[in-house]
Amino acid sequence: MITKPSTPFKNSLSLLPIALLGLILFAGLVYANWSLANRYGKGEEFLPAWNGARAFLFEQLDPYSDTIKERTQSMVYGRAAQEGESPLALGIPFPLLILYLPFALIPDALWARAAFMAVSELALLALILLSLRLLDWRPHGWFIVFFCVTWLASFFSVSAILSGSPAILVVLGILGAVQAIRAENDEVAGILLALVSFHWPAMILLWLFVIIGVYRARRGRVFVGFGMLWIILGGATLIAFMSTPGWFLSFVRALISNYQAHAGLGLVPILAQSPPSAFDKYLPIISLALLILLAVEWVGAWRGANPPRWMWVAGLSLAVTPLIGLRTTLSNLAPLAFSILCILPFARERWRGLGYLILSAYTLLLCALPYYVQSRFAHADPRAAELTYLLFIAFVIAGLYWVRWYAVRPPLTWADNVKRELRK
């Protein structure tokens, strides 16, 4: 019997039930997040962008104005921001505010937060799965589920989701660009790198590592895609802000306002508050030493043709970013799931018989440590957040250097390659 070939229309109809099921599940996730947003968190990292986008769309106001900043402070703090608190000024360039337009169309702040939380949760799962693909590691299915559930429930992931941090999305965008480069879709990679050109405290070193690596590899089409998107968005911005051409100065003032508030965490600020005070003048040297150490690793990764080493250095770049002097938040540590996953396949190679046991124990330790520190010291020590921040990053960087030899060492023979594949 001769069967007629299926048409694209019929193929689309066959996908319709799957799409409807996906929409129903997403709606259920949004509703569950609405319940969480109603009880926990303030959405302090989401509301500046949401307020700014809505003010521009529906009130024709400058999203960087003091009026919008004060409106956001009232929603988060219930009052004006005090000394040591973030002024919550919008710090996203106007062209990239397009990422928040779908959420700005939702008039209720809680429902908008719930939708963004759902997107962040799905993005975190996508980040984990994409990291595994980039690392070319295929662990047992049960371990993938274990890691996803454990990290989704981790202190940093919960903080990022409840606060509405874009950290997960921007790191996912960078990893998506890396995957696009590997697939020879250079223009797509450039567009993704352009879209995530903000929220620097979460990923600036990883972003620079990829950008400079692209330049050294002479993948010029990546910069074509990057430039094309910025030209299009820049032109749209000029048209949209024709009535208020001073938006860029307002944006710069908002950035300065956030910086001068001295809100957030950082290695240098933490050490500056610790005795002896004479040590303060040497603090910039710490950040400089970290950058020099990382630069050495960058050069080694760029010069060699060893993909595992390249990914290991990318994970190290992301882990070192919170220590270079930019003030950050605990929610910005959620994307370090990628750095942790850069440890696990090499640890599996090192500890063959007990591999998954050690991997599971290390993952649980990293996820349980912040909860323990917060529950043990939060009430007694106001600097519990600083302790959580430092201990977690120290454990991640120590783990990366624990497996460095296995990541940096290229397989010497064909037999070594076969062994690596069998151990995945």
pLDDT score of 280: 53
Query: Do 251 and 94 meet the contact criterion of CB atoms below 8 Å apart?
Result: yes
The Cα–Cα gap between 284 and 156 comes to 27
The Cα–Cα gap between 99 and 77 comes to 25
Q: What is the per-residue pLDDT across 79-113, written as a single tens digit (0 to 9) for each? A: 888 877 889 999 999 889 999 999 999 999 999 99
Stretch 325-332: mean pLDDT: 86
Range among 184-188, 257-261, 400-404 with highest mean pLDDT value: 184-188
Structure tokens at 302: 């760029």
Range among 8-12, 364-368, 382-386 with highest mean pLDDT value: 364-368
The Cα–Cα gap between 328 and 308 comes to 28
355 pLDDT above the threshold of 80: no
Banded pLDDT at 194 (limits 50, 70, 90)? very high
For 135, which DSSP code? T
For 379, which DSSP code? T
Query: What 3-state DSSP class applies to 14?
Result: helix
285 pLDDT above the threshold of 90: no
Pick the closest to residue 103 from 42, 147, 48, 40 (CA basis): 48
316 pLDDT above the threshold of 90: yes
pLDDT score of 418: 45
pLDDT score of 2: 47
The Cα–Cα gap between 388 and 392 comes to 6
pLDDT score of 398: 92
381 pLDDT above the threshold of 70: no
The Cα–Cα gap between 123 and 170 comes to 10
8 pLDDT above the threshold of 70: no
